[in-house]
């Protein structure tokens, strides 16, 4: 067993620690189950020697009583064992899943652009699911069958150690195919789970991109790639099933050598009078009864390998350290006045710098428009202020605090963002607007919607504010979605407002209205607005022209127009 596997066992054990009480109860019950099995094997001897061979009629009546009594005892203990250990396993897995989800939420934006949403979903649902099923089997069978096996072994040696020694010479042989099979199962489970991850990713992408698929008529192509991935999954599963199915027969064949030797030698000893018939049968009964636990234990070991394969995928995510988290001595930012400054900021998503030596000072309440060709780095600047990403060089300050030295929670409380992706939850309009301030009253929600010029169209929807807007707001137009996002930001009431192409989907008429709303909103707030519309840009206190991650020009509209720079070119292309 290598170090990382040992580590996985240790971590799984740690999750089961809070439920040791249940596990111990189950252990006691397992001991009783194993004890009844061993007693049954043991009782074969007096049954044959004292009752049948000795023809003792008086004792015959005890036989059914003993059989039923033992069965009831075994049944009851089995229930206790199974119920307690399975619930313990389930509870541990619930904890793992909660931790995994909580941890996933805490990961930074960078992680989400590397691992696909579908794959993450699959880790949280499918891999933890495998862990859950395997853990239950392992715990139930592993414990009980080990006890039974130990009991029966002791009985066999106690009855006749020579015979037992013969029977057990072959057992070590079973370990060899066992460990080979186990390794194969772990490997293929891992591969299978990663194809399940791909399947989930495909599902997630194609279902959310169904419109594109319909528009381009690529249903068949998507169906084919799904089939292909699904086939790949079968390919790995088939291997898991093959090795899993082979393990019991392998054990059976190997142990038949032992049984054959025992029969041969045992019968000789009975015939020569060195052993009673009862002793031999009791011995053989014990050996045959060992079959079941040995076979189950090889299944258990297979299951452990499957669980380890899945657990690796789970712990892989749990081990990712969020790049962006609270610094050790992070302070609470409080409510800021809204002074923002970028100081020599360099940033790269991968290797290539997309922001270069960016320095910019924004006074409280100022409105700054970021303009420039697409890909110039506007959204990146906005994202860095929200600490989606931290700069590689330089620093960003709000009210003089380096934003890496304040708590994330207090930073976010000071920022309201309307992003170019107008994301809404599949919930009522009311709850979507309320999202950034759960304690807001209904009146405040309506007021925010009115300011965003969303109230009118909301009232025309069936159920108005209670209207559920479908997956990601699919039942609304782009402009309507944007207005709801703006209402959400208005309600948030934060001193710093970030608008990343927040009005791009609006038609001219509603844009004019929303513009009015936004200028109300911008009052007394520091605003960074990424915009393509002249109306927004013209009223900005400062226009920052960004190209290739560098500031080309800064100034007011009229001043920049006088110059002969990039702004003027952009202006002439877009608005003339
Ligand atoms: N998540 C990301 N990972 C890698 N590169 C990215 C990512 N997001 C944006 N980029 C790249 O960074 C550059 C700036 O992008 P962005 O800030 O979105 O520009 P803008 O908003 O001005 O159009 C572009 O070259 C883009 O390809
Ligand atoms: Mg952008």
Where does residue 303 rank: exposed (0-12), middle (13-18), buried (19+ CB within 10 A)?
buried
Residue-wise pLDDT tens digits, 385-422: 999 999 999 999 999 899 999 999 999 999 998 888 88
Rounded distance from Cα 548 to ligand 1 centre (Å): 10
Residue-wise pLDDT tens digits, 535-556: 778 888 899 989 888 888 888 8
Domain end (from 271, 288, 318):
318
Domain end (from 286, 318, 350):
318
Which pTM does this prediction carry?
0.80
- Report CA 431 to chain centroid distance, whole Å: 26
The pLDDT, as a whole number, for residue 171 is: 65
List the beta bridge partners of residue 546.
551
Q: Tell me, what CATH number does 177's domain have?
A: 1.20.1560.10
The pLDDT, as a whole number, for residue 18 is: 93
Residue 150 lies in a domain: yes
- To test ligand 1's pocket by mutation, which of 110, 379, 392, 499 has the most ligand atoms within 8 angstroms of CB? 379
Residue-wise pLDDT tens digits, 417-470: 888 888 888 888 899 999 988 898 899 999 989 888 888 888 888 878 888 877
Rounded distance from Cα 500 to ligand 2 centre (Å): 7
Position 180 confidence tier, pLDDT thresholds 50, 70, 90: confident
Do 82 and 309 meet the contact criterion of CB atoms below 8 Å apart? no
For the cut 80, the answer to whether the pLDDT of residue 41 exceeds it is: no
Among protein residues, the one whose CA lies closest to atom 3 of ligand 1: 349
Position 1 confidence tier, pLDDT thresholds 50, 70, 90: low
Residue-wise pLDDT tens digits, 362-394: 999 899 999 888 888 999 999 999 999 999 999
Among protein residues, the one whose CA lies closest to atom 2 of ligand 1: 349
Rounded distance from Cα 355 to ligand 1 centre (Å): 10
Q: Which atom of ligand 1 is nearest to the CA of 374?
A: 23
Rounded distance from Cα 378 to ligand 2 centre (Å): 6
The pLDDT, as a whole number, for residue 269 is: 86
Do 134 and 306 meet the contact criterion of CB atoms below 8 Å apart? yes
In the chain, what are the helix, strand and coil shares in percent, each to the nearest 5?
A: 70, 10, 20
Position 341 confidence tier, pLDDT thresholds 50, 70, 90: very high
Among protein residues, the one whose CA lies closest to atom 27 of ligand 1: 375
Q: Report which bound ligand comes closest to the CA of 349.
A: 1
Q: Which helix (H) or strand (E) holds 109?
A: helix 109-114
Number of Cβ atoms within 10 Å of the Cβ of 331: 12
Residue-wise pLDDT tens digits, 495-517: 999 988 877 777 777 777 777 77
Q: Report which bound ligand comes closest to the CA of 376.
A: 1
Whether residues 377 and 489 fall in one domain: yes
Distance CA 231, CA 540 (A): 57
Whether residues 237 and 372 fall in one domain: no
Whether residues 87 and 18 fall in one domain: yes
Pocket of ligand 1 (CB under 6 A): 113, 349-350, 354, 374-380
Q: Which atom of ligand 1 is nearest to the CA of 383?
A: 17
Q: Which atom of ligand 1 is nearest to the CA of 530?
A: 21
Q: Tell me, what CATH number does 426's domain have?
A: 3.40.50.300
The pLDDT, as a whole number, for residue 90 is: 87
For the cut 80, the answer to whether the pLDDT of residue 72 exceeds it is: yes
- To test ligand 1's pocket by mutation, which of 375, 390, 418, 421 has the most ligand atoms within 8 angstroms of CB? 375
How would DSSP label each residue in 270-332? HHTTSS-HHHHHHHHHHHHHHHHHHHHHHHHHHHHHHHHHHHHHHHHHHTPPPSS---TT-B-
Do 140 and 303 meet the contact criterion of CB atoms below 8 Å apart? no
Number of Cβ atoms within 10 Å of the Cβ of 224: 11
- What's the domain count of the chain? 2
Domain end (from 283, 318, 353):
318
Quick one: which of 291, 187, 284 has its CA closest to 248? 291
Rounded distance from Cα 341 to ligand 2 centre (Å): 20
Number of Cβ atoms within 10 Å of the Cβ of 260: 13
Rounded distance from Cα 554 to ligand 2 centre (Å): 19
Q: Which atom of ligand 1 is nearest to the CA of 372?
A: 22
Among protein residues, the one whose CA lies closest to atom 6 of ligand 1: 349
Residue-wise pLDDT tens digits, 475-493: 788 888 888 888 898 898 8
Do 530 and 382 meet the contact criterion of CB atoms below 8 Å apart? yes
Whether residues 302 and 346 fall in one domain: no
Among protein residues, the one whose CA lies closest to atom 5 of ligand 1: 349
The pLDDT, as a whole number, for residue 19 is: 92
The pLDDT, as a whole number, for residue 576 is: 63
Crossing angle of helices 62-106 and 277-318, in 10° steps, is 10
Domain that holds residue 126: 13-318
Where does residue 216 rank: exposed (0-12), middle (13-18), buried (19+ CB within 10 A)?
exposed
Distance CA 226, CA 228 (A): 5
Whether residues 91 and 239 fall in one domain: yes
Residue 53 lies in a domain: yes
Whether residues 374 and 512 fall in one domain: yes
Whether residues 229 and 151 fall in one domain: yes
Whether residues 185 and 300 fall in one domain: yes
Distance CA 260, CA 263 (A): 5
Q: Which of the listed ranges 157-171, 174-188, 192-206 does the model predict with the highest average pLDDT?
A: 192-206
List the beta bridge partners of residue 342.
360, 396
Sequence-distant (≥ 6) Cβ neighbours of residue 216 within 8 angstroms: none
Whether residues 487 and 409 fall in one domain: yes
Rounded distance from Cα 503 to ligand 2 centre (Å): 13
Whether residues 219 and 251 fall in one domain: yes
Q: Report which bound ligand comes closest to the CA of 378.
A: 1
Q: Are strands 353-362 and 496-500 parallel, antiparallel or unpaired?
A: unpaired
Residue-wise pLDDT tens digits, 262-278: 888 888 888 998 888 88
* Count of CA atoms in the C-beta half-sphere (13 A) of 283: 30
Q: Report which bound ligand comes closest to the CA of 504.
A: 2
Do 8 and 63 meet the contact criterion of CB atoms below 8 Å apart? no
């Amino acid at each position: 067993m290598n170090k990382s596997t040992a580590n996985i066992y240790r971590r799984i054990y740690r999750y089961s620690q809070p439920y040791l009480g249940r596990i111990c109860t189950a252990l006691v019950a397992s001991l009783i189950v194993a004890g009844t099995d061993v007693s049954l094997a043991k009782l074969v001897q007096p049954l044959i020697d004292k009752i049948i061979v000795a023809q003792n009629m008086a004792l015959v009546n005890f036989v059914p009583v003993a059989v039923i009594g033992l069965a009831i005892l075994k049944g009851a203990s089995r229930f206790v064992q199974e119920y307690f250990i399975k619930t313990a396993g389930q509870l541990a897995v619930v904890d793992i899943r909660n931790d995994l989800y909580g941890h996933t939420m805490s990961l930074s934006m960078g992680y989400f652009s590397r691992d696909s949403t579908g794959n993450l979903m699959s880790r949280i649902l499918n891999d933890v699911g495998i862990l859950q099923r395997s853990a239950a089997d392992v715990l139930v069978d592993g414990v009980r069958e080990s006890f039974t096996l130990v009991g029966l072994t002791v009985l066999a040696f106690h009855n006749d150690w020579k015979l037992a020694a013969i029977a057990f010479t072959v057992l070590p042989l079973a370990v060899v195919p066992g460990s080979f099979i186990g390794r194969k199962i772990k490997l293929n489970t891992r591969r299978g789970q990663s194809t399940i991850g791909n399947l989930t990713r495909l599902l997630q992408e194609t279902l959310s991109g169904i419109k594109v698929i319909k528009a381009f008529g690529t249903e068949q192509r998507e169906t084919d790639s799904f089939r292909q991935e699904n086939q790949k999954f079968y390919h790995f599963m088939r291997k898991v099933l093959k090795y899993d199915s082979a393990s019991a027969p392998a054990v059976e064949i190997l142990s038949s050598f032992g049984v054959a030797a025992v029969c041969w030698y045992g019968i000789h000893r009975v015939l020569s009078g060195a052993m009673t018939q009862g002793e031999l049968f009791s011995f053989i009964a014990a050996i045959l009864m060992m079959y079941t636990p040995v076979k189950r234990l090889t299944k258990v070991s297979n299951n452990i390998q499957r669980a380890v394969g899945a657990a690796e995928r789970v712990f892989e995510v749990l081990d990712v350290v969020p790049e962006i988290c609270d610094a050790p001595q992070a302070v609470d930012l409080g409510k800021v006045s809204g002074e923002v400054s970028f100081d020599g900021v360099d940033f790269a998503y991968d290797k290539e710098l997309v922001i270069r030596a960016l320095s910019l000072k924004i006074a409280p309440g100022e409105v700054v428009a970021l303009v420039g060709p697409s890909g110039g780095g506007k959204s990146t600047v906005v994202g860095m202020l929200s600490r989606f990403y931290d700069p590689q060089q330089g620093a960003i300050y709000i009210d003089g605090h380096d934003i890496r030295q304040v708590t994330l929670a207090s930073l976010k409380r000071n920022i309201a963002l309307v992003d170019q992706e107008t994301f809404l939850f599949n919930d009522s309009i009311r709850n979507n607007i309320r999202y950034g301030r759960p304690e807001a009253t209904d009146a405040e929600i309506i007021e925010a919607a009115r300011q965003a010029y969303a109230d009118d169209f909301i009232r025309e929807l069936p159920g108005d504010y209670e209207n559920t807007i479908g997956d990601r707001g699919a039942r609304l137009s782009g402009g309507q979605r944007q207005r709801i996002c703006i209402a959400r930001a208005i309600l948030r009431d934060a001193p710093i407002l970030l608008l990343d192409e927040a009005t791009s989907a609006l038609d001219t008429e509603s844009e004019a209205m929303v513009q009015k709303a936004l200028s109300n909103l911008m009052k007394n707030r520091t605003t960074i607005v990424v915009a393509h519309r002249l109306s927004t840009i013209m009223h900005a206190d400062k226009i920052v022209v960004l190209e290739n991650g560098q500031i080309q020009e800064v100034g007011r509209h009229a001043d920049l127009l006088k110059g002969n720079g990039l702004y003027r070119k952009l202006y002439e292309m877009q608005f003339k």
